[in-house]
């Protein structure tokens, strides 16, 4: 298994080197804000990483999931609050909205495949278990079937023949399902499988982050009663709808506190809190520490 816990010493080492930034970039592909260039996208590490000194700074993709396959080489991936060691034949899946950064050894070999959100959630037949598996980071040793699929997808995207898009989408779905199966196999404590409507709620929360929308607002947009949405959240997440929405907001606050140099008040303003004191109280209620205490663990 490739997962490495983010102990305090490594947190301090990493964030002491953090750049002085005020926002977390949201890219189509890294460094690019133009429209996504293809039905799917595949590139090799040497296509982009050398131009950035093999260091990929913190960013996220609101509408993309990505799979990183290391054929040969080493590095570290920082994914929200986790650190993953990268080495030969490891594969790392990163879901949409997740903040990530890479420190790669020069001349590392492998590929990155990017999957638009629409393709991610149109795998047929639909499965709540599959949605759950693809909602969290996955790291595993790449098995031969997965490497074969990724290689075939890479080759299909390089061609311009008949039915290129259909072939690529089919291979993309198979690749995502294969990485999900590895994630399920490696997930020791399987949580209750979420309803796909909760996955839709996650998408809406990300879309409206900072607008302080209520559970009632989200329920109406989803065509549900507030009570129904609360029952779904209780069943799948163990929280009321309001508490689940607030938890997601505070997770975004954690990212901003860790990955940016915004003041605590500015972080609150970005998330829709007009009163910094109230933001701090709500953050402490959810996270168990104040925003300043949370940030201190990332600074020495």
Please indicate, yes or no, whether residues 47 and 132 belong to a single structural domain of this protein: yes
Asked whether residue 31 carries a pLDDT value surpassing 70, the answer given is: no
* Average pLDDT rounded to a whole number, residues 215-233: 88
Interior/surface letters 240-254, b for 16+ CB within 10 angstroms, e for the rest: bbbbbbbebbbebbb
* pLDDT tens digit sequence for 178-187: 999 998 887 6
Q: What interhelical angle do 164-186 and 144-158 show, nearest 10?
A: 160
- Low-confidence winner among 58-67, 227-236, 255-264 (lowest mean pLDDT): 227-236
* pLDDT tens digit sequence for 166-181: 999 999 999 999 999 9
Domain's final residue, options 141, 160, 186:
186
Asked whether residue 17 carries a pLDDT value surpassing 50, the answer given is: no
Q: What is the CATH number of the domain that holds 102?
A: 2.60.120.280
Domain's final residue, options 134, 162, 186:
186
Mean confidence (pLDDT) of the chain:
86
* Average pLDDT rounded to a whole number, residues 106-126: 91
pLDDT attached to residue 94: 96
Q: What is the CATH number of the domain that holds 226?
A: 1.10.10.60
38 located within any domain = yes
- Yes or no: say if 90 and 140 are a contact pair by the CB < 8 Å rule: yes
- How many whole angstroms separate alpha carbon 243 and alpha carbon 56? 34
Please indicate, yes or no, whether residues 125 and 225 belong to a single structural domain of this protein: no
Please indicate, yes or no, whether residues 141 and 212 belong to a single structural domain of this protein: no
Please indicate, yes or no, whether residues 34 and 164 belong to a single structural domain of this protein: yes
pLDDT attached to residue 75: 92
Asked whether residue 268 carries a pLDDT value surpassing 70, the answer given is: yes
Domain's final residue, options 186, 212, 238:
186
63 located within any domain = yes
191 located within any domain = no
Please indicate, yes or no, whether residues 26 and 119 belong to a single structural domain of this protein: yes
* Average pLDDT rounded to a whole number, residues 267-294: 94
pLDDT attached to residue 173: 96
Please indicate, yes or no, whether residues 65 and 161 belong to a single structural domain of this protein: yes
Provide the residue range defining the domain that includes 59: 3-186
- Number of domains within the chain: 2
Percent of the chain with pLDDT over 90: 59
């Amino acid at each position: 298994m490739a997962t490495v816990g983010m102990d305090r010493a490594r947190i301090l080492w990493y964030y002491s080197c953090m750049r002085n930034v005020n926002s977390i970039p949201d890219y189509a592909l890294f460094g690019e804000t133009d429209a996504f260039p293809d039905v799917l996208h595949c590139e090799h590490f040497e296509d982009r990483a050398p131009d950035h000194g093999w260091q990929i700074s913190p960013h996220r993709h609101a509408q993309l999931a990505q799979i990183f396959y290391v054929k040969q080489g080493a590095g570290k991936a920082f994914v929200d609050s986790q650190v993953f060691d990268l080495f030969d034949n490891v594969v790392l899946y990163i879901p949409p909205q997740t903040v990530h950064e890479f420190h790669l050894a020069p001349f590392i070999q492998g590929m990155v495949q990017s999957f638009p959100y629409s393709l991610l959630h149109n795998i047929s037949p639909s499965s709540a278990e599959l949605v759950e598996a693809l909602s969290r980071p996955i790291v595993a040793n790449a098995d031969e079937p997965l490497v074969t699929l990724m290689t075939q997808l890479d080759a299909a995207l390089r061609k311009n023949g008949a039915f290129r898009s259909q072939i690529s989408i089919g291979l993309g779905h198979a690749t995502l399902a294969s990485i999900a199966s590895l994630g399920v196999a490696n997930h020791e404590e399987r949580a209750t499988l979420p309803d796909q409507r909760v996955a839709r709620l996650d998408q809406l929360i990300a879309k409206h982050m900072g607008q302080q929308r209520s559970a009632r607002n989200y329920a109406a947009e989803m065509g549900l009663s507030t009570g129904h949405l609360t029952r779904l959240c209780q069943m799948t997440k163990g929280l009321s709808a309001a508490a689940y929405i607030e938890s997601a907001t505070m997770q975004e606050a954690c990212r901003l506190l860790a990955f940016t140099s915004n003041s605590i008040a500015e972080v609150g303003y970005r998330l829709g809190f007009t009163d910094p004191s109230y933001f701090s109280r709500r953050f402490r209620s959810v996270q168990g520490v104040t925003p300043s205490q949370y940030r201190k663990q990332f600074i020495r």
